[in-house]
Amino acid sequence: MPVITEIEDLKRIYKRRVPKMFYDYAETGSWTEQTFRENSSDFDEIRLRQRIAVDMAGRTTAAKMVGQDYAMPVALAPVGLCGMQAADGEIKAARAAEKFGVPFTLSTMSICSIEDVASHTTKPFWFQVYTLKDDDFMKRLFARAKDANCSALVITVDLQIMGQRHKDLKNGLSAPPKLTPASILNLATKVPWGLEMLQTKRRFFGNIVGHAKGVTDPTSLGSWTAEAFDPSLDWERIKQFRSWWDGPVILKGILDPEDAKRALDVGADAIVVSNHGGRQLDGALSSIRMLPQIMDAVGDKIEVHLDSGIRSGQDVLKALAIGARGTMIGRAFVYGLGAMGEAGVTRALQVIHKELDTTMALCGERDVAKLGRHNLLLPENFATRWS
């Protein structure tokens, strides 16, 4: 087994192990992928201030997110189809997260169902919903998440309609994979993945098949998905969803200070500054570049989290130092999951935690809660280069 010291190591193993269709599904952005690329490369523009001769003993990365205590301010982002990256993927990722002491967010578009993940874990997880048209289905989804003891609801607000990812169309992405000459040739090279997949029954969208009206078998899912998303979503509708959940609500997918201000009116407990990992509006600025403006607009009124582009603990630290109270990682944990299942997700969390802790120490800080803009050197026009 190779020595894993960084997230990139997990990505290399992941690429070898998982069918191309699912690797491409994760490792792609919409259209030209400019936003996908800049989500990560913009972190590199930010530099850190080295401080010395500061007592670095007794450090802590412990953090509160939406009033809940965690080992570090990093949550696993909702990622659809984790159960195709590794058999029973959502259960494996949720277990790694609970052992590490960080939140796992289950996607509506998961393979393992809410009930299934709840029955294989002991701590509450977060549940993510898309803003769908069907009130009945949505209410039942909320009730199922409540029954499963989910401790926060993440409402994704940046996917009323879907951005286009060329590779998914070209690969004919589906769960389980459709057998075509190209996919059969590729699957033949992914034997360990296939053998694991043959041993599980969880191969369809567990939250939807058998629950949404008219979706009793996986073949009708395609037409349901095309119809289910609500292009007429507005703030009133978001407010309505908020009123259906009596616990913490996190609005995910805010990238503009004006939208961040609107989020205050609907009574959200937190927002996630996010462009969906560069999978929606290609050409949008990166999350980290938008964060300073959003902090200035609402940072003292609501808990602000950030995702999109995080591949290291240094990236997490930069977001925290600009003011985020929490972060989410998507691909960084998916690489681990695809590479080595639960152990791979644990490894991804360990890597990020170690990088965060060491970087914090070398910046002369002992507590993630004390990180601030004084730890950073930002290019003068970082937040205003495009106006």
Q: Which residues are catalytic?
A: 276
In the complex, minimum distance from the CB of residue 16 to ligand FMN, in angstroms, rounded to a whole number: 18
- Residue 4 carries which DSSP code? -
The response to whether 335 counts as a known ligand-binding position is no
Question: Whole-number minimum distance, CB 251 to ligand FMN, in Å?
Answer: 11
The three-class DSSP label of residue 326 is strand
Q: Is there a contact between 360 and 48 (Cβ–Cβ < 8 Å)?
A: no
User: Is position 146 annotated in a ligand binding site?
Assistant: no
Do the annotations mark residue 310 as ligand-binding?
yes
Closest contact distance (angstroms) between CB of 272 and ligand FMN is: 7
Count of C-beta atoms within a 10 Å radius of residue 160: 17
Shortest distance, CB of residue 227 to ligand FMN, whole angstroms? Answer: 18
DSSP-assigned letter for residue 367: B
Beta carbon nearer to ligand FMN, 121 or 308: 308
Task: For the chain, report the end-to-end CA distance as a whole number of angstroms.
Answer: 48
Which amino acid would we find at residue 344?
G
Q: By beta-carbon distance, which residue lies closest to ligand FMN?
A: 330
- Give the integer Cα–Cα distance in Å for 324 and 150: 23
Residue 64 annotated as part of some ligand binding site: no
Give the C-alpha separation, 235 to 127, whole Å: 20
Q: Is 248 within 8 Å of 67 (Cβ atoms)?
A: yes
Amino acid residing at 10: L
The least CB distance from residue 276 to ligand FMN, in Å, is: 5
Nearer to ligand FMN, 225 or 350 (CB): 225
d(CA 26, CA 20): 10
Nearest distance from C-beta of residue 13 to ligand FMN, angstroms: 17
Binding residues for ligand FMN (CB under 6 A): 25-26, 39, 77-80, 107, 109, 128, 156, 252, 274, 276-277, 279, 307-310, 329-332
CB of 193 to ligand FMN, least distance (A): 16
Nearer to ligand FMN by Cβ, of 38 and 365: the residue is 38
Closest-CA residue to 151 (of 118, 177, 126)? 126
Q: At what angle do helices 287-298 and 257-265 cross, to 10 degrees?
A: 50
Q: Which is nearer to ligand FMN, 158 or 365 (CB)?
A: 158
**Distance between CA atoms of residues 179 and 172, nearest Å:** 10
Axis crossing angle, helix 7-17 with helix 331-362, rounded to the nearest 10: 170
Residue 252 marked ligand-binding: yes
Block residue for tokens 């993440």: 154
Place of tokens 């050197």: 377
Backbone angles phi, psi at 361, to 5 degrees: -60, -45
Residue 331 assigned ligand-binding role = yes
Which amino acid does the sequence have at 197? M
C-alpha pair distances (Å), 382 with each of 45, 254, 288, 290:
8, 19, 10, 9
Is residue 274 marked as binding? yes
Nearer to ligand FMN, 70 or 335 (CB): 335
276 is in an annotated binding site: yes
**Cα–Cα distance for residue pair 322/192, rounded to 1 Å:** 42
In the complex with ligand FMN, the residue whose CB is nearer, 79 or 321, is: 79
Q: Give the CA diameter of the chain.
A: 65
Closer residue to ligand FMN, CB minimum distance, 128 or 312? 128
40 marked ligand binding residue: no
Residue numbers in the known binding site for FMN are 78-80, 107, 128, 130, 156, 252, 274, 307-311, 330-331
Binding positions are: 25, 78-80, 107, 128, 130, 156, 165, 252, 274, 276, 279, 307-311, 330-331
Q: Which residues are annotated as a binding site for glyoxylate?
A: 25, 165, 276, 279
